Amino acid sequence: MKNIFKIALISIVCGSTFASNSAVNNVILNEVTTLDTSPKGFNTDPKKKNTTLNDKNATDIFIENDTDSYLALQLINVASGNIGTGYRSGGTTTAGFDCSGLMYSTFKKFDITLPRSSHEMAEVGLEITPENAKKGDLIFFINRGQQRINHVGMIVEVNGGEIKFIHSSTNGGVIISSLKESYYERTFKQINRIIE
């Protein structure tokens, strides 16, 4: 889709450089709209449907309220693109992520460098209460009888008393879980705000 749009723009600017004569008159941008790339420009024939560019799609992010940070929503979008990716100890790529690797690589895409381990990440930012949690905050756990933090996720939804977070689980890979699940409720340690 993006390549078709780029070709359409280049064709308009360059006067159909990629097509000899008028071989390419219309480039389909999506199922319902077309862009006329003829030298005359946009369609002016009143019998034809007006040309519009539909710039909305399923992956658009809408800020629902003033408490949602645009950067937080972008971070969630990037992390969510990895849902279904398997778990890999030490992993920071789509070949497999561990929990801190998912957070590290997600934030790194926005030039935010976090420490590489979950217990070091827990020392970054401002610790906040669950009642003040927001999308984009990091959530930390101590599990499997450990003495220090050894699991991290990122909050993707706060709805009343329920907090949902994305993380890479040893059993399920990259998934979204709820703090209301008994395992996570029992192993929960803290929430840190990394971005404002």
Q: Which residues are catalytic?
A: 99, 151, 167
Rounded CA gap, 9 and 29, in Å? 11
End-to-end CA distance of the chain, in Å? 33
- β-bridge partners, 157: 164
- Angstrom distances, CA of residue 150 to CA of 42, 116, 126, 162: 58, 12, 18, 22
Rounded CA gap, 160 and 95, in Å? 35
Rounded CA gap, 93 and 114, in Å? 16
Rounded CA gap, 31 and 193, in Å? 42
Q: CB atoms < 10 A from the CB of 151, how many? A: 24
- β-bridge partners, 127: 192
